[in-house]
Structures are given as C-alpha cells and as structure tokens.
C-alpha cells in the first residue's frame, strides 16, 4: 500500500510539472462552456424558426452540452499526453526502473489522471448546464426536472471516460503523434460519418462516443439507438476497459 501511495504521489508530481496537461484541461473546460453558451444562445434566438419536429423533441439539457464535441477532443489530448509523454522524452526507462511493477506504475498514472479528469469534467458539465440554461430563456429546464441531474453528472463522466480511453490507447501505441493522429480524426470525423451512413449506422451506435453521449440526453429522440442512457454509458465503459487491458498487456510484454 505504501508503495502504491508513493507511485500515486510521483505521478501527481509529474502531471503538475508538465504545463501542457494543465493547459489542455483548462482549454477543455473553457471551450466546452463557451461553445455550449453560444449554441444555447443561438438556439433560443432561432427556436421559432426550427422545424416542428425539432421543437417537439428539443432537449435543453443536451443543447447546453453542445461544446463537448470539441471539449472531448481536448480531453483525448490530455489522456494521450499523460501516458505517452514519457515515451517521447525517454523518461519511461527511468520510471520503469524506479517502479518495476508495471501494473502498479500504469495504475498509479491512470488513477491520478482519471481523478483529475473527473473533477474537471464534472465541474465543466455543471457549469455548461447552468450557463446554457441561463440563456435559453423560456425553453430552459431545471436541475430538478426528471432525468436532468443524471444527464449533467453523466456529462462529466463522459468527458472523463474519453480521457481514460485515450490513456489506454496511448499505452498501446506509445507515441503521442501516432495516438493523436488516430484518435482525433476518428472521433472528430469518422465516427460522425459512420453514424450518418445508413450502411454503417447500426454499427456506429456502439462506438464509445456515440454510446456514451446517450447518458447526456433527457428527451427521448428517435435516433434508433436500442439502449437507454445508463446502458449507453456501460457500453462506453466496456470500450474503456478494453483499451486499458490492451495497454496493460502490451506494457508488460514490450521493452521500454
């Protein structure tokens, strides 16, 4: 237990000493809140011009999370930097020499980064919600309305899980450039493209981002997803667990 605590303290020191990780989390929060505010304001101004079916299925809670589409990318960058930066600098050799138990080393790193991502994710989700509702006028909802608190808490969990998924992938790929060149286009473009093509739409529903986003929705939408919010989040957790297991397996197998 003492050894694990020492690893956790060491990883916390590493994260604090790398400025890019702090800036990435800060930008994720600011951009998520800012875009959510802008989209909510524009939606309120244009609400009467929206098609009838969109007004009927309007979800004020999910609208305030519009900025998470960009914010999640920055959480991915954070996750990649936390794990792969030591590979790019060569510090991984010193780290594994100090902590030869590779499972403990990886657990300590991911535990610290996950806790930090969770705090930032939940604060960002709650601020995004309240700021978004403040400008939605008569179309807003309240935190006490059915399903809203679940969606707001789920928004923070979603951002956290995106970061952890990136950590697992970075542990497998080791290179920050390779990790970002795969993850960023996939979640920014490919996932949306697959979700918009009829031939691949049913498969895309089970991708980590599309499944996880379900937990942030309050109003039932005719999106064809055959699962509810918590099952959607569970599907995302399964993807994250698979990435972490893969990262751990390769870390044990390969040389530093």
What confidence score (pLDDT) does residue 1 get? 65
Which of 100, 246, 232, 224 is CA-nearest to residue 166? 246
Band of the pLDDT at 154, cuts 50, 70, 90? very high
Q: What is the mean pLDDT of residues 117-134?
A: 97
Residue 205 pLDDT? 92
Average pLDDT over residues 143-162: 97
Maximal C-alpha separation, the chain: 63
More confident call, 12 vs 118: 118
Residue range 68-116, pLDDT digits in tens? 999 999 999 999 999 888 877 767 777 777 777 887 888 889 999 999 9
The better pLDDT of the pair 251, 224 is held by 251
187 pLDDT band (50/70/90 cuts)? Answer: very high
Please say whether the beta carbons of 31 and 127 come within 8 A. Answer: no
Distance (Å, rounded) from C-alpha 171 to C-alpha 14?
A: 16
Instruction: Assess contact for 4 and 104: CB atoms under 8 A.
Output: yes
CA 5, CA 173: separation in Å to the nearest integer? 27
pLDDT above 90: residue 157: yes
Structure tokens at 118: 């969770």
Q: What is the mean pLDDT of the chain?
A: 90
Question: pTM for this one?
Answer: 0.93
| Residue spans per domain, the chain | 2-253
Instruction: Kindly state the average pLDDT of the residues 119-145.
Output: 96
pLDDT given for residue 59 in this prediction: 94
Q: Shortest CA distance to 164 belongs to which of 102, 98, 111? A: 111
> First and final CA of the chain: distance in angstroms?
25
Query: For 12-26, 41-55, 122-136, 188-202, which range has the lowest pLDDT when averaged over its residues?
Result: 12-26
Give the dihedral sign, CA 81/84/87/93. Answer: positive
């Amino acid at each position: 237990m003492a050894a694990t605590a020492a690893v956790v303290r060491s990883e916390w020191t590493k994260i604090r000493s790398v400025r890019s990780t702090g800036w990435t989390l800060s930008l994720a929060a600011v951009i998520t809140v800012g875009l959510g505010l802008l989209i909510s304001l524009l939606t309120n101004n244009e609400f009467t011009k929206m098609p009838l079916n969109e007004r009927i299925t309007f979800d004020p809670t999910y609208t305030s999370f519009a900025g998470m589409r960009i914010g999640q990318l920055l959480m991915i960058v954070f996750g990649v930097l936390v794990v792969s930066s030591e590979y790019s600098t060569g510090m991984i050799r010193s780290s594994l020499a100090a902590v030869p138990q590779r499972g403990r080393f990886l657990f300590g790193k991911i535990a610290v980064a996950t806790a930090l991502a969770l705090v930032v994710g939940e604060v960002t989700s709650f601020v995004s919600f309240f700021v978004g509702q403040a400008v939605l006028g008569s179309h807003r909802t309240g935190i006490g309305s059915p399903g809203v608190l679940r969606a707001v808490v789920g928004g923070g969990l979603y951002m956290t899980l995106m970061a952890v998924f990136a950590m697992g992938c970075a542990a497998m790929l080791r290179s920050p450039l390779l990790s970002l060149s795969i993850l960023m286009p996939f979640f920014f473009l490919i996932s949306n493209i697959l979700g918009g093509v009829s031939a691949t739409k049913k498969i895309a529903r089970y991708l980590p981002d599309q499944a996880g986003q379900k937990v942030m929705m309050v109003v039932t939408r005719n999106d064809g997803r055959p699962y509810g919010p918590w099952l959607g989040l569970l599907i995302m957790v399964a993807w994250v667990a698979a990435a972490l297991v893969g990262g751990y397996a390769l870390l044990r197998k390969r040389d530093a």
